[in-house]
């Protein structure tokens, strides 16, 4: 079956760095997405990885290892506004997104 | 980036009535649109996948006759919740992908439906 695993909740301190991990199992693979979702709002696209390696975009970076079925989202210089849920989603061979349950990130001053 | 517009943003309706939610791709042709539902504190749940000009593919457990999906053009898909009940109250989100399937999915703003 198809499955995405990510931690349910994480806590970090303002100004620090946090890494949110995601493992996936899908029928075929067409990329790994990370989305940010604030409560009551639609998800916002953060990153897309289809090749192995690290993609850096400002304070956010995303890493992918296809052989390990593993990705992580790295958030640097955390700000209070980064408190949100972070959703990992893998695209299968039919171009459908398989969603993780999301990781609730709590930022403390 | 590409824009997907979803309307309405929120709607309150009486139990037993029907509600239509529109999802439009404003600057690209969306061959595939996805409809999701999200209950509070839960992840997105895919309801159905619709391809332009063909019938939608519904996920297991989603009632086809209750959640009517129409994808008549490359820029518009609609979800109609028929005979709505309080348990249908949820956040509904659409997303669309363009002609080259392995690109990011663009999301609408979401619609918060409250059935009273």
Give the best residue of B44, B50, B96, B110 to mutate against chain A (max A CB count within 10 A).
B44
Note the pLDDT of residue B102. 47
Is the predicted pLDDT of residue B100 greater than 60, yes or no?
no
Phi/psi class of residue A40: alpha, beta or left (left: φ > 0; alpha: ψ in -120 to 50)? left
B93:A42 CB<8 A: yes
Token couple for B25: 């791709």
- Residue-averaged pLDDT of chain A: 92
| The pLDDT of residue A78 | 98
Nearest CA in chain B to A102: B43
Give tens-digit pLDDT for A80-95. Answer: 999 999 999 998 887 6
Find the closest chain B residue to A86 by CA distance. B43
Going by DSSP bridges, is the β-strand pair A32-37/A9-13 parallel, antiparallel, or unpaired?
unpaired
In B51-80, the residues whose Cβ lies within 8 Å of chain A are none
Interface check B101 vs A, CB under 8 A: yes
Q: What is the pLDDT of residues A50-85, one digit of tens each?
A: 899 999 989 999 999 999 999 999 999 999 999 999
The pLDDT, as a whole number, for residue B103 is: 57
């Amino acid at each position: 079956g198809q499955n995405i695993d990510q931690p349910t909740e994480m806590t970090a301190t303002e100004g620090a760095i946090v890494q949110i991990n995601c493992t996936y199992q899908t029928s075929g693979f067409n990329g790994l997405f990370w989305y940010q979702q604030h409560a009551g709002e639609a998800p916002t696209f953060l990153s897309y990885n289809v090749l192995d390696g690290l993609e850096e975009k400002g304070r956010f970076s995303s890493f992918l290892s296809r052989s390990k079925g593993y990705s992580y989202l790295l958030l640097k210089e955390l700000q209070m506004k980064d408190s949100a849920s972070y959703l990992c989603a893998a695209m299968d061979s039919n171009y459908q997104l398989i969603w993780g349950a999301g990781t609730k990130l709590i930022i403390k001053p | 980036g590409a824009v997907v517009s979803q309307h309405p943003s929120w709607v309150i309706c009486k139990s037993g009535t029907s509600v239509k939610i529109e999802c439009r791709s404003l600057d690209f042709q969306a061959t595939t649109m996805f409809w999701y539902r999200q209950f509070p504190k839960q992840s997105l749940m895919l309801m159905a996948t619709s391809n332009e000009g063909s019938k939608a593919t519904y996920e297991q457990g989603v009632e086809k006759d209750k959640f009517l999906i129409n994808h008549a053009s490359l820029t518009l898909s609609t979800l109609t919740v028929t005979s709505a009940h309080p348990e249908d109250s949820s956040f509904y989100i659409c997303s669309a992908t363009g002609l080259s399937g392995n690109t990011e999915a663009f999301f609408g703003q979401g619609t918060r439906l409250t059935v009273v």
